[in-house]
Structure 1
Amino acid sequence: MVKSRFDLNAIIDLKKWHKLQDSLSLVTKMAIITVDYKGVPVSKHSNCQSFCQGVRKDPLLSQYCQKCDARGGLEAVRLNKPYIYLCHFNILDIAIPIIIDNQYIGAIMAGQIKLRDPDIPLLEQIVSRPANSETNNKFKTLEEDYLSLPVLSFEEVSTIADMLFHLCTYIVEEAINKHSTIEMYKKAVSLDTDPPSMDSIVSSDRTYRNIQAIQNELSSTLIETKVKKFTSHEIRPSNRLLQPAFDYIYHHKNENVTLNEMAKLCHISSSYFSRIFTKETGENFSVFVPRLKIEWSKQLLETTELSINQISDKLGFCDAGYFIKTFKKFENLTPAVYRNIYKNNHVEQM
C-alpha cells in the first residue's frame, strides 16, 4: 500500500480521541478501535467483548482476527465507504475508512455484534478458518461469552456505519487543518517573519471556525518571506501622491488590484493617476503590476514546492491559465519550464 502523507498518530489528540471513541462505543454497543493506514492500532480497544478478548489472546486464533482487520480495511478503501462483513467466527464487523484528499490514512474498526434479523443480508466471511479440535475446544470455553454478544438489526448497523464514517472523516479532516496550520506557523517562525500570535491560533482552533482564515493569513506571511528580496526596498516614488498605491500593491500581493481602486486610494482621478504612474515607472499600470507579480512568482517557483495553481491563487491571478499566459508573455516560457530550468541549473552548480 502506498504510504499516506498524513500520520494519523501525529495528527489526532489520542487522549481526546479515546474519550470520543469510548463514548461512541457505549452509544452504538459496538467495540471500536482505530488503526493507521498500515493497520497498526493507534488507539486502545473500546468495549472489546469478552469473547473477542479471549479469541485475540489465543496465539493461533488472533492471527485470523488480524487478517480480518487487514482485509476489511483494504476492502473499505477499495469501496471508499464502510464495509460490513463477517469475521472467521461469523461475528459482524465494520471497517470504516478515513480518507482525506483521496489519501487513505487509517480506519475505524467497529463491531463484535450479532445480527437480529432472521433474513440476514448476504455478507462476506472474508477469512475462513479451517476447523480443528483445538479451535473447537477454545470456542466451547468461550461459548457463554459468545451468546452474550450484543445484538443489533442490520438497519441499525448500516446507520451506525454511515454515522461513524461521516463523523470521523470530519473530525480527522479538521485535525489535519489544525496540524497544517501549526506547521505553517512553525515554518513562518523559522523564517524570521512576524506571524500571527499563537494565542489567536489556539483560540480559533477551539471552535475550528477560523482555521481556513488562519491558514490564509499564514500563507500570506510565508509568501511575504519568500519574496522579500524583491520587496526589501519599497518604492519611494518621486511623486508622493503615488505612495499609498505602491504600499498597497506591495502589501497585498494576493489581490488583483485595479487602476481605479489605486486612484481612489490616492484620492485622485483615474486619468490623472494613470498619467503620473506611467511617468513614474515608465510603464502603464496594466503592465507594471503583472510584471511585478511575475517577478514574485519566479521567487516562489525557485524557493517553494507550491503548485502552479497555488502560486496563481496566492498572487491574485484570476486563474492558473491566465497566470501561465502572463508568465509566458514576460519570460517567453511557462512557469513549469522555468522551475525545471532553475532546478537543473541549481543542481549543476552544487
Structure 2
Amino acid sequence: MPFTAPNLDYIINAHNYQKIQDCLSEASDMAMLIVDFQGTPVTEHSRCSAYCSLVRSNPELNNLCRKCDARGGLEAARLSKPYIYRCHMGILDLAVPIVLGGVYAGAIMAGQVVPADEDAQELETIAEGRLSAIDGDFFAELEKQKKLLPVMSRDRVQIIANMLFQINNYMIEEALLKIELNDRLEASGSQDGRAAEGRPAYNSFIIRPALDYIASHYHERITLDEMASRCNISSSYFSKLFNKITGETFANYVNTLRIRKACEYLDQEDIPITTIAFNLGFDDISYFDKVFKKIAGTTPSAYKKN
C-alpha cells in the first residue's frame, strides 16, 4: 500500500494558527513559521528578522537555509521532541515536530536569535557548507543586522521550545478529535435526514457556528475561509464537511438562502429589485439576475410580475 503523507493544511486552520503564531512570536521575541513535511510553509513568517531576510536574499545562503530547515524538522521528528541547533550562519534556531498518527507531518520552526556565549559551543551546527566570496558591502550589512538580533540563553530557548511543543500537541489533538468524532458519527449511521427549517441533524455541531452565522448575516460578505476559521477547522476540511452535511457547496448554500429571502421581499413588499440585490450582499445586479434565474428558474422581474 503506497505511503500517504498526512495533509497538515487539511488538519489545522491556517488562519487561526497564524494569529496564535503571531502572538507567540511577539511574546517569545522569536521568528516563527509552520511548514509541512516537505518544508512548504503553511503559515506566513512571523517576525522574520532583517538579518535572516538579507541572508535569504543570497541564493547560495538561501539554499543552506533551506537545508537547515529540512534537517532541523527531520531531526525533531526523529527525536520526537523539540530540537535546538545553530544554523549555518551560527544563529540559534529550533524545530518542534508535528506528528499525526505517528507520522511526521511538519514542524514549527522558530529562532533567529543569537546564542549566549557560554551556550554557543554546546549546540550542533547543521547544514554547514563552503561559501563563495561574499561582497564586502553585503557582509558589512550582515554584520550590522546581526547585532540587532536578540541574545538568548539555551535554557530560555528550551523553555520556549517546550511551550510550543505542548501548545501544538494540544491543538493538533483537538483538531484530530473533531475529525475522528465526525467520522464515528458518520460510520454509526446517525444521519437520519434533515432537521426542521432545512438544518441538517447529522453531526452539524462542527459547522454549527458557520450555519448560525450565515443564517443571520446572509446579507453581508461571507467567505469560506472566514467560516472555517469560525469553526476552527481547516478550509479544505470545512468545505468537504459542509458539502457532506448540507448537500450543497458553500457558495450555493449562501446564494440559495439569499435568493429565498429575495423571493420573500418580492412577494410581500414593493421594493426595487436593485435595492433588494444590494441589501442581500450582491454588488453586481447582473450577477444577482444570473444567480436568481439559476436558483428560482426565472428572472427577478418576471418573478415579481407573476
TM-score bracket, shorter-length normalisation: 0.5 to 0.7
Q: Secondary structure at the match of 1:148?
A: coil
Change (3 A) 1:201 1:141: closer
CA 1:135/1:60 → structure 2, altered by over 3 Å: closer, same or farther? farther
- Equivalences for 1:83-122 in 2 at 5 Å? 83-122=83-122
8 Å contact kept, 2:191–2:201: no
Pairing of 1:53-68 with structure 2 (within 5 A): 53-68=53-68
Whole-angstrom CA distance in 1 between matches of 2:124 and 2:72: 10
Alpha-carbon shift at residue 202 of structure 1 (Å): 4.6
Corresponding position: 1:48 with 2:48: yes
**Which residue number corresponds to residue 176 of structure 2?**
176
Q: In 2 relative to 1, CA 13–47 (structure 1 residues): closer, same or farther, beyond 3 Å?
A: same
Query: Partner letter of residue 56 of structure 2?
Result: R
Q: Say if 2:65 and 2:87, in contact at 8 Å, map to a contact too.
A: yes
Partner of 1:200: 205
Q: 2:138: which partner in 1? A: 138
135 and 7 in structure 1: CA distance in 2 versus 1, 3 angstrom threshold: farther
State the SS of the aligned residue for 1:33.
Answer: strand
Give secondary structure in 2 for the equivalent of 1:134.
coil
Question: Structure 2 unaligned runs (5+)?
Answer: 194-199, 211-228, 232-306
Question: What is the deviation of 1:184?
Answer: 5.0
Work out whether 1:149 is the aligned partner of 2:149. yes
Q: 1:121 and 1:173, CA in 2 relative to 1: closer, same or farther beyond 3 A?
A: farther
CA change 1:153–1:192 in 2 (3 A) is closer
CA–CA distance in 1 between the matches of 2:140 and 2:170? Answer: 42
Q: Distance in 2 between matches of 1:3 and 1:135?
A: 45
**Equivalence map 1:1-350=2 (5 Å):** 3=3, 5-134=5-134, 137-183=137-183, 193=192, 196-202=201-207
Once the two structures are TM-superposed, the CA of residue 116 in structure 1 deviates from its matched residue by 2.5
- Residue aligned with 2:33, SS: strand
Matched AA of 1:141: E
Contact 1:82/1:96 (CA < 8 Å) preserved in 2? yes
> Which whole-Å CA distance do the structure 2 matches of 1:100 and 1:57 have between them?
33
Cα separation, partners in 2 of 1:188 and 1:31, compared to 1, 3 Å: same
**3-state secondary structure, aligned to 1:84:** strand
Q: CA separation in 1, counterparts of 2:176 and 2:14? A: 14
Moved more, 31-40 or 54-63: 54-63
- Structure 1 gaps, min length 5: 209-350
Count of matched residue positions in the alignment of Structure 1 and Structure 2: 206
Q: Equivalents in 2 of 1:19, 1:119: separation in Å?
A: 31
Amino acid of the structure 1 residue aligned with 2:179: H
Alpha-carbon offset, residue 145 of structure 1: 1.1
The SS at the match of 2:205 is: helix
**Aligned-partner Cα distance in 2 for 1:70–1:158:** 20
Higher relative contact order (CA 8 A, sep 6+): 2
Instruction: For residue 130 of structure 2, give the secondary structure of its aligned residue in structure 1.
Output: coil
**Contact 1:91/1:113, CA 8 A, preserved across alignment:** yes
Aligned partners of 2:124, 2:136: CA distance in 1, in Å?
A: 22
Structure 2 CA distance for aligned equivalents of residues 55 and 123 of structure 1: 21
What is the RMSD of the two structures over their aligned residues, measured on CA atoms? 3.0
Q: Contact 1:117 / 1:154 at 8 angstroms: preserved in 2?
A: no
Q: Is the CA contact (8 Å cut-off) linking 1:4 and 1:105 kept in structure 2?
A: no
Q: TM-score, normalised by structure 2?
A: 0.60
Kindly name which structure, 1 or 2, has the bigger radius of gyration based on alpha carbons.
1
